[in-house]
């Protein structure tokens, strides 16, 4: 039996679901997923990678903090053979360059840069460079960070926050059931209606 420590979100939320949210990530543009740790931002990035790979595309993940978990990814439906995983082991300077390099290599469906959950500062003009690299091909180029790091260069900025955690078992909790996240589009250059203040996506991630 599921229990919640927080109240359910108010009615009127956008319930078109995860597919609707994943569809707003534009090809050939730079996108950004921002949100603190445990907000569901990493899960959103994983879902984006898994969907692209399931459609036959190849995906690349530049893992700044070396935190990617292949077991969870496989459970999410990501074909690991279609994944190019670049482990930077905390060397963020290398991670910037690797993302820039892969964004310029045509043929990937998604090129993702995961900067971890610790706040970082991107080098000056990094966002503009990455945006220019993304403009050269059809890949979805996305950066996952706790805060915005690409400045005004990102064509899409999705903010994710945790609505509640779901625990299984009552009164004694047996295990973590999942997390409900609320995603909002903070900026969308190609469809400003997505960034309407009242519009949000509610997604339940299962542990």
Q: Cα 183 to the chain's mean position, in Å? A: 10
Q: What angle do CA 101, 148, 100 make, to 5 degrees?
A: 5
Toward other proteins, which CB reaches closer, 25 or 167? 167
- Please tell me whether the peptide bond between 171 and the residue prior to it is cis, using omega within 30 degrees of 0: yes
Q: Least distance (Å) from other proteins to the CB of residue 129? A: 15
Angle formed by the axes of helices 92-103 and 126-135, nearest 10°: 20
Toward other proteins, which CB reaches closer, 8 or 84? 84
Q: Least distance (Å) from other proteins to the CB of residue 139? A: 9
Q: Least distance (Å) from other proteins to the CB of residue 80? A: 5
Toward other proteins, which CB reaches closer, 128 or 168? 168
Q: Least distance (Å) from other proteins to the CB of residue 31? A: 17
DSSP sequence for 108-133: EEEEEEE--SS---PPTTHHHHHHHH
Toward other proteins, which CB reaches closer, 91 or 189? 91
């Amino acid at each position: 039996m599921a229990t919640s420590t927080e109240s359910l979100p108010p009615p009127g939320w956008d319930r078109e679901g995860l597919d609707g949210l994943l569809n707003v990530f534009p090809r050939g543009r730079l996108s950004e997923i921002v949100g603190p740790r445990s907000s569901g931002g990493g899960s959103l990035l994983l879902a984006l990678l898994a969907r692209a790979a399931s459609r036959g595309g190849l995906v690349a993940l530049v893992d700044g903090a070396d935190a990617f978990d292949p077991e969870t990814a496989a459970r999410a439906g990501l074909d690991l053979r279609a994944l190019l995983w670049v482990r930077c082991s905390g060397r963020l300077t290398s991670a910037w360059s690797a993302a820039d390099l892969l964004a310029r290599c045509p043929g990937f469906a998604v090129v993702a840069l995961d900067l971890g959950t610790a706040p970082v500062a991107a080098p000056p003009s990094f966002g503009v460079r990455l945006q220019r690299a993304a403009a050269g091909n059809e890949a979805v180029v996305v950066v996952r960070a706790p805060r915005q790091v690409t400045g005004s260069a990102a064509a899409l900025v999705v903010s994710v926050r945790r609505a509640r955690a779901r625990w299984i078992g009552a009164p004694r909790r047996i295990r973590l059931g999942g997390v409900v996240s609320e995603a909002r589009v903070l900026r969308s250059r190609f469809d400003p209606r997505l960034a309407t203040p009242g519009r949000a996506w509610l997604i339940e991630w299962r542990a």
